[in-house]
Copies of this chain bind each other. A is one copy, B any other.
Amino acid sequence: MRKMSDKQRRMITFIERFLSDKGYPPSIRDIQAGCAISSTSVVDYNLNILESRGHIRRHADVSRGITLLTRTQTSDSLVPVPVIGMIAAGEPIPVPTPDTWDVAAVSETMEVPRELTRGREDVYALKVKGMSMVDALINDGDIVLMQHVSAVDNGEMAAVWLKGEKEATLKKVYIEPKRIRLQPANEQMKPLYADPDDVEIQGRVIAVVRQVA
In the bound complex, do residue B212 and residue A209 qualify as a contact, i.e. CB atoms below 8 Å apart? Answer: no
List the B side residues contacting A188 at CB < 8 Å.
134
A62 on interface, CB distance cutoff 8 Å? yes
| Size category, A interface | 35 or more
Q: Chain A's interface: helix, strand, loop or mixed, by majority?
A: mixed
Q: Indicate how many identical chains form the complex.
A: 2
Stretch of A20-28, A32-40, A160-168, A190-198 with 4 or more beta carbons under 8 angstroms from chain B: A20-28
Q: Which of B19, B138, B157 contacts A76 (CB 8 A)?
A: B19
A41 on interface, CB distance cutoff 8 Å? no
Q: Looking at the assembled complex, report how far the CB atom of A196 sits from the nearest CB atom of chain B, in whole angstroms.
A: 22
Closest to A16 in B: B76
Q: Which of A82-122 contact B (CB under 8 A)?
A: 103-104, 109-116
Q: Looking at the assembled complex, report how far the CB atom of A22 sits from the nearest CB atom of chain B, in whole angstroms.
A: 7
Closest to A112 in B: B113
Complex: A188 Cα to B189 Cα, angstroms? 15
A72 on interface, CB distance cutoff 8 Å? yes
Closest to A70 in B: B104
Q: Looking at the assembled complex, report how far the CB atom of A202 sits from the nearest CB atom of chain B, in whole angstroms.
A: 15
List the B side residues contacting A199 at CB < 8 Å.
none
Q: Which of A34-68 contact B (CB under 8 A)?
A: 57, 59, 62-68
